[in-house]
Amino acid sequence: MQIDINSRKQLNKPENYAVFYSLLNRLPTSDRDTLKESVVSQYTDGRTTSLRDMTLKEYSAAIAGMRKLVPPTHQEELRKILRQKRSAVLHQMQLLGIDTADWDKVNAFCLDSRIVGMEFRELDCEALDTLQVKLRAIRRKRENEQQ
């Protein structure tokens, strides 16, 4: 957030425009300047075509809209898959009675050499898949013993 030196009030402007330009460069177009002006005009309701004249609220709305249009990068896709797998493994841990809100307990469970032998944050997609299979087997075994 920028502060006006004369009035010492916060300006309602974004600090920098790097996110806007990185998203703009990923959009398919032949004329970047025209596209930029079009996006700015659309999110300011025609008030301006200058990025610097946008308010923070308008800028945030433009960024959100552009993110919906831009296809995710390969790295973003991998990150999404990793998050889904982590979530599934944590859910299985919850079903086994492990407090997943406490990372020390999650790591202590994972560090057991019979489970995976490393901390949870170090697990890649393949290790998470293997761990999920193990956790399901443990849960099935416990359910069969109770019957």
The residues, ordered by sequence, that sit 6+ positions from 105 with a Cβ below 8 Å of its Cβ are 98, 99
Report how far Cα 65 is from the mean position of its chain's Cα atoms. Answer: 16
User: Measuring CA to CA, how many Å separate 33 from each of 37, 38, 43, 138, 146?
Assistant: 6, 9, 16, 58, 68
pTM check: above 0.85: no
pLDDT in tens, 50-61: 999 999 999 999
Beta bridge partners, 3, equal 10
Q: What residue ranges of the chain have pLDDT lower than 70?
A: 1-11
Residue 127 confidence (pLDDT): 96
Residue 27 confidence (pLDDT): 87
